[in-house]
Amino acid sequence: MLKNKIALVTGGAAGIGRAICQQLGAEGASVAVVDFNREAGEECVAELEKSGIEAFFIACDVSNEEQVRAMVAAVLERYGRLDIACNNAAVSRGSGPIHQFTREVFDQTLELCLTNTWLCMKYEIEAMLASGGGSIVNISSNASLR
Ligand SMILES: NC(=O)c1ccc[n+]([C@@H]2O[C@H](COP(=O)([O-])OP(=O)(O)OC[C@H]3O[C@@H](n4cnc5c(N)ncnc54)[C@H](O)[C@@H]3O)[C@@H](O)[C@H]2O)c1
């Protein structure tokens, strides 16, 4: 059970991230739903609250360092610590044989799927260390293994 735990989920407004928010909340965590889609994020928070889950929305584009810093600061301001971070936000540029992709698509894929996750961890780890620790789960893809 995750009672009294503070969780943050990037890309939490839709798809897999939204399901992760629901599961963390169902297990007792308070959930910060992070997304650059404000409308979907606020709708997700309303749905979580309807189920009795403590949640709030943070508008953030995880490719923007200042916004990522502010994302973690918003969690600390509201709850005083961060226990769980799930870095899930990413946009697929497709996958397939290397010779069929351009350098531009490869660079975008690294930025959207890897660099942004690293950036989130940079600030999440700093916050977690300050309060004695925490857990980070990064969502990846089979595509990264192929
Ligand atoms: N769906 C699949 O079949 C699949 C397969 C392999 C890996 N994944 C991985 O799972 C994760 C979630 O995938 P999904 O299918 O649920 O995606 P989705 O497109 O349904 O949802 C992604 C969410 O992330 C948000 N988002 C995207 N970029 C963002 C950014 N820069 N800043 C803030 N928010 C951002 C979007 O607004 C959206 O709400 C991704 O990391 C994806 O690579 C998904």
Work out the average pLDDT over 64-86. Answer: 98
Whether residue 1 is contained in a domain is answered as: no
Domain count, the chain: 1
pLDDT at 59: 98
pLDDT at 19: 98
Q: How far is CA 141 from the centre of its chain?
A: 15
Does residue 143 have a pLDDT over 90?
A: no
> pLDDT by residue (tens digit) across 41-73?
999 999 999 999 999 999 999 999 999 999 999
Alpha carbon nearest to ligand 1 atom 3, residue: 141
For residue 138 and ligand 1, the question of a CB distance below 6 A is answered with: no
Burial class (CB in 10 A: 0-12, 13-18, 19+), 43: middle
Work out the average pLDDT over 85-105. Answer: 91
Query: Above pLDDT 70, what percent of the chain?
Result: 100
For residue 59 and ligand 1, the question of a CB distance below 6 A is answered with: no
Whether residue 140 is contained in a domain is answered as: yes
Whether residue 65 is contained in a domain is answered as: yes
pTM of the model: 0.96
> The domain that contains 76 carries what CATH number?
3.40.50.720
Which is nearest to 86 in space by CA: 15, 144, 31? 31
Q: Which atom of ligand 1 is nearest to the CA of 19?
A: 16
pLDDT at 77: 98
Picking from 9-13, 61-65, 76-80, 142-146, which range would have the lowest pLDDT averaged per residue?
142-146
Domain that holds residue 32: 6-144
Pocket test for ligand 1, best of 119, 140, 141 (most atoms within 8 A of CB): 141
